[in-house]
Amino acid sequence: MKGKVVIALGGNALQDKDMVPTAESQLNAIRKTASYIADIIEEGYSVIVTHGNGPQVGNIVIQNETASNIIPAMPFDICGAESQGMIGYMIQQCLGEVFKERNIDKDAATIVTQVVVDKDDPAFLHPTKPIGPFYSKEEAEMLIKNKGYEMVEDSGRGYRRVVASPEPKEIVELSTIKLLENNGVVVITAGGGGIPVVKENGSLKGVAAVIDKDLASEKLAEDLDADILLILTAVEKVYINYKKPDEKALDVISSDEAQRYLEEGHFAPGSMLPKVKAAIRFANSKHGRRAIITSLEKAYDALCGKTGTVIVEKTAKD
């Protein structure tokens, strides 16, 4: 085995943004993704897959709200669980097809994954993550009054509910993930950053929050003692001064250098910033670990050292 890789799939790996988000169009996108994952498995890597769920869970929330006068709407943590099951089912089905076509003796399995967060995380005091549909000002005021939602005006398009984005602290199903991975199963886990839960009186309780997918993937990669965290997104490399005359693509950089760029404000909060933050954490977590940020199409080449932005521990680069 060449090493253990946690692959964090971005939204473009699950859904073509130019297509209507039907089940068929999402399956077509994921079939292509499954082929890229199979390339990495054939190269001899042990693979664990994580994924986002932003558009999908948002659509589930809209469906819930639209039909709430007929069937009671489910709370947000359960909507997250629904999205994990749906996306995981599609990924494992498509991987199964590719494994059969290529005679790869592997199984894929989805784990509906809970991730513990701290109920006192400061993020709960300042919710920032928009979810669900747009509302009028009057509708927003009713939701604040009747359901206690936090609502914000969103760029002149209406009002949206916002929830917290706390730090991932513990992956509840970790032992099950390890058991499957140790037996050669390609595990699909921590979808959408995991279902956020808090510990109360020895029990777990779901909360309305969104854990960043890349930070949850980093936590998983550490806990599984992975060698590589491979974060896949829409671009081949990370840039500083992005879309400016002096933009520069980053190749192999130290975690210190990446941290400096992060503090200088080169990375957008809702886009590249959490990816770079996760990459820095992973590179610094243990000597010899590396994080790679690249596009889905270049994933295999990036693992072979041909492209992508690689973030390593400072001493490893020096």
Give the Cα separation of 100 and 225 in Å (integer): 29
Residue 100 bears catalytic tag: no
Residue 308 bears catalytic tag: no
Give the Cα separation of 19 and 17 in Å (integer): 6
Catalytic residue from among 54, 64, 194, 275: 275
Q: Do 84 and 53 form a contact (C-beta atoms < 8 A)? A: yes
* Assigned token pair, 102: 């290529």
Residue 129 bears catalytic tag: yes
* Assigned token pair, 83: 């999205």
Closest-CA residue to 196 (of 75, 317, 316): 75
Catalytic residue from among 54, 88, 193, 213: 213
Half-sphere exposure of 137 (CA within 13 A, CB side): 1
Contacting residues for 112 by C-beta, under 8 A, at least 6 apart: 81, 84, 85, 88, 173, 191, 195
Residue 213 bears catalytic tag: yes
Give the Cα separation of 313 and 193 in Å (integer): 24
Residue 12 bears catalytic tag: yes
Catalytic residue from among 129, 219, 277, 298: 129
In order of 160, 283, 291, the CA distances from 288 in angstroms are 43, 8, 10
Cα-Cα-Cα-Cα dihedral sign, residues 268, 274, 279, 285: positive
Give the Cα separation of 55 and 20 in Å (integer): 11
What are the residue numbers of the active site? 11-12, 129, 213, 275
